[in-house]
Amino acid sequence: MLEENPRQWHEKLSETLWAYRTSKREATDMTPYALTYGHDAILPMEIAVQSIRIAQQYNLPAVARAYNKRVRNKSFEEREVVWKAILLLGTHVAGYGKWSPTWEGPFIVKQVIGLGAYRLQDQDGDIYAVPTNGKWLKKFYPTMWDSQVVQTDPGIEAEKDEIIV
């Protein structure tokens, strides 16, 4: 390999070191990785295949249960008011820097399609044809600074007028 082009040794260095660190030595009957970190290295293929060794070594069902305990399921009802993400999290619009807007809206959930997909309607009444994944939505809580009243039910205004009168 390197005999053909010896100037590209740096491209093979990480693979060579990985092979060296994960190979057992006769004197210790262990890998240098296991001596350093206390367990065998996990190959990317073992994670993809979900090998029995990995499941037993890391007790994956218990780890998954602990992770899922903290994950909150996001679901929205029809006529609920939501924000929609403009940009992927962590990205910025040139010129705005860290002050880039990340959410747009508010939108009204017009239809719950299922499997976390929602059809949205903007305040002008336009319904978006393309469904939006629920992971890009968050609940809208109006503040005292919102100048525009978000109306989800036409009867709300009538009720407000009756109360005032």
Asked, for residue 157, whether it belongs to a domain, the answer is no
| Cα distance between residue 92 and residue 100, in whole Å | 6
Its pTM stands at 0.47
Q: Decide which of 20, 49, 70 is a domain's last residue.
A: 70
Compare 82 and 33 and report the one with higher pLDDT: 82
Q: Which among 80, 86, 119 is positioned nearest to 102, based on CA atoms?
A: 86
- Asked if residue 132 and residue 85 are part of one domain, the reply reads yes
- Asked if residue 133 and residue 77 are part of one domain, the reply reads yes
Which two three-digit tokens encode residue 90?
């962590």
Q: What CATH number did the domain enclosing 118 receive?
A: 2.30.30.140
Which tens digits make up the pLDDT trace of 41-69? 777 766 666 666 666 666 667 767 777 77
- Asked if residue 97 and residue 118 are part of one domain, the reply reads yes
Q: How many domains does the chain have?
A: 2
pLDDT of residue 54: 66
- Identify the domain containing residue 16 by its residue range: 10-70
φ, ψ for residue 79, nearest 5 deg? 70, 10
pLDDT of residue 161: 46
The answer on pLDDT for 81 being more than 50 is yes
Asked, for residue 86, whether it belongs to a domain, the answer is yes
Asked, for residue 101, whether it belongs to a domain, the answer is yes
| Cα distance between residue 98 and residue 119, in whole Å | 30
- Asked if residue 95 and residue 53 are part of one domain, the reply reads no
φ, ψ for residue 14, nearest 5 deg? -65, -40
pLDDT band at residue 75 using 50, 70 and 90 as cut-offs: confident
Which two three-digit tokens encode residue 5?
């082009």
